[in-house]
């Protein structure tokens, strides 16, 4: 099995268990050009905005003034992923951003509402106020946990929960909102499998939009709200199916093989977009709606590096965007298309830290 341990540290943020080497941490943000690797022609400038811990899934407010992201940075007094808000021009080197989750349980996948006054996110805090355990391998298999205590909540910008959108037994998480401001797409195990669902902003009118065996998740709407892009691991052989079902029954998935799929907002016209092998994930629409930016290690032999790539929505014109030797992922365009936020291991002083970067984007 390909070694994707590197990916695990990024997605599940087990920084409290990581062995840090702080003596090697020498961050610099003086020269934007020094952060841009050779052949990264789509970046006019690049700014590092966090300097320690594991920071990822930074999503823009609809007015492009703020970002919300998750971090496990122990110097920010958290034991596992919690949600933080920053202004788009902020830098967090010695200061601490505003935490807007409860500080209890583990959180993931926050996303602003169109009015900018509220956001949604998933949290395990109703199941247990402590951070849940994070398995690394089960019977030799590299796995991600799918906590059945995750539910989706709505909070104001002061961190006060004002609504609970899901209360079904099982995993409910990975929620994002349509740019039209009318629908939420999320992943749930309520059918017995990891499928995509949509619902209204108040949690009503829930509809299942995928129904094939496999992990469907990390979904985003197109800029015009008519399409959805997502990652999926679709087992095919009997051995793969049996393994998938066995792990899922234990609240686990094995994410070493994932491809991108695209469909209409109601689940129709489902098509497989990539067929690259390895892990293709964290897709996001280009502002034109005609391309997808995503992270992949399909060119890697040992699990990493992960780099950013772009592909047309018809599966043509695959182009490499970043040229790192470690990890670039979670690319998210600002709503005006002028900036790109993403997570990277560049400039981390030879530690395991994953930081947030904001690039001025050039097509």
Task: Summarize pLDDT for 101-142 with one digit per residue, the tens.
Answer: 999 999 999 999 999 999 999 999 999 999 999 876 777 777
Q: Is residue 159's pLDDT more than 60?
A: yes
* d(C-alpha 109, C-alpha 256), whole Å: 21
Residue 30: the pLDDT is 53
Whether residue 8 is predicted with pLDDT greater than 90 in this model: the reply is no
Alpha-carbon distance of 134 to 79, in angstroms, equals 12
Query: Given pLDDT bands bounded at 50, 70 and 90, which one contains residue 303?
Result: confident
Using CA atoms in the order 153, 155, 160, 164, what is the torsion angle rounded to 10 degrees?
A: -30
Residue 11 scores a pLDDT above 80:
no
Q: What is the pLDDT of residues 230-239, one digit of tens each?
A: 999 999 999 9
Q: What residue spans define the domains of the chain?
A: 5-361
Higher pLDDT, 340 or 4: 340
Q: Is the pLDDT of residue 2 over 70?
A: no
Question: What pLDDT was estimated at residue 329?
Answer: 98
Q: How far apart are the first and last CA of the chain?
A: 37
Of all residues in the chain, the percent with pLDDT exceeding 90 is: 85
Among 17-21, 35-39, 179-183, 313-317, the range scoring the smallest mean pLDDT is 17-21
Residue 15 has pLDDT above 90, yes or no: no
Of the pLDDT bands very low, low, confident and very high (cuts 50, 70, 90), residue 256 is confident
Q: Which listed CATH number (2.120.10.30, 3.40.50.280, 1.25.40.10, 3.30.420.480) goes with 5-361?
A: 2.120.10.30
pLDDT at 22 over 70: no
Q: Model confidence over 50-68: pLDDT tens digits?
A: 999 999 999 999 999 999 9
Question: b/e string for 72-103 if b means 16 or more Cβ within 10 A?
Answer: bbeebebebbbbbbbebeebbeeeebebbbbe
* pLDDT band at 20; cut points 50, 70, 90: very low
β-strand partners of 259? 232
Contact 56, 83 (CB under 8 A): no
- Backbone angles phi and psi of 36, in degrees to 5: -95, 125
pLDDT over 90 at 74, yes or no: yes
Task: Convert the pLDDT of each residue in 316-328 to its tens digit.
Answer: 999 999 999 999 9
DSSP string, 82-140: EEEEEETT--BSSS-PEE-S-SSS-EEEEEE-TTSSEEEEEE-TTT-SSPPP---EETT
The reported pLDDT for the residue numbered 31 is 63
Residues 6+ apart with CB under 8 A from 204: none
> For the chain, what percent of residues have pLDDT higher than 70?
91
Q: pTM higher than 0.85, yes or no?
A: yes
Question: According to the model, what pLDDT value does residue 142 have?
Answer: 79
Give me the pLDDT at residue 134, please. Answer: 85
The pLDDT, as a whole number, for residue 34 is 87
């Amino acid at each position: 099995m390909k070694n994707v341990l590197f990916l695990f540290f990024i997605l599940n943020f087990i920084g409290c268990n990581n062995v840090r080497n702080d003596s090697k941490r020498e961050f610099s943000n003086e020269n934007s050009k020094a952060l841009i690797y050779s052949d990264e022609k789509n970046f006019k400038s690049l700014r590092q905005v966090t300097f320690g811990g594991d920071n990822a899934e930074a999503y823009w407010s609809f007015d492009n003034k703020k970002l919300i992201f998750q971090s496990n940075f122990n110097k920010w007094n958290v034991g596992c992923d919690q949600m933080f808000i920053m202004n788009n021009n902020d830098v967090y080197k010695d200061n601490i951003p505003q935490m807007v989750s409860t500080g209890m349980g583990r959180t993931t996948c926050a996303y602003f509402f169109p009015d900018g006054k509220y956001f949604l996110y998933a949290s395990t805090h109703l199941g247990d106020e402590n951070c849940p355990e994070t398995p690394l391998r089960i019977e030799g298999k590299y796995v991600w946990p799918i906590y059945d205590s995750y539910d989706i909540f709505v909070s104001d910008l002061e961190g006060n929960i004002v609504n609970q959108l899901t209360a079904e037994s099982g995993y409910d998480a990975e929620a994002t909102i349509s740019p039209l401001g009318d629908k939420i797409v999320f992943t749930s195990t309520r059918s017995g499998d990891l499928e995509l669902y949509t619902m209204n902003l108040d949690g009503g009118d829930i509809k299942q939009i995928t129904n094939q065996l496999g992990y469907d998740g990390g979904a985003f709407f197109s800029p015009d709200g008519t399409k959805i892009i997502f990652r999926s691991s679709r087992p095919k052989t009997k051995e793969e199916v049996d393994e998938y079902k066995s792990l899922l029954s234990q609240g686990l998935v094995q994410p070493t093989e994932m491809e991108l799929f695209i469909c209409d907002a109601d689940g129709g016209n489902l098509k497989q977009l990539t067929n690259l092998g390895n892990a293709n994930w964290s897709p996001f629409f280009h502002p034109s709606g005609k391309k997808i930016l995503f992270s992949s290690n399909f060119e890697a032999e040992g699990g990493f590096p992960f780099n950013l790539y772009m592909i047309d929505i018809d599966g043509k014109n695959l182009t490499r965007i970043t040229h790192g030797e470690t990890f670039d992922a979670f690319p998210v365009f600002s709503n005006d298309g002028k900036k790109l936020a993403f997570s990277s291991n560049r400039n981390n002083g030879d530690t395991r830290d994953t930081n947030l970067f904001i690039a001025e984007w050039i097509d």
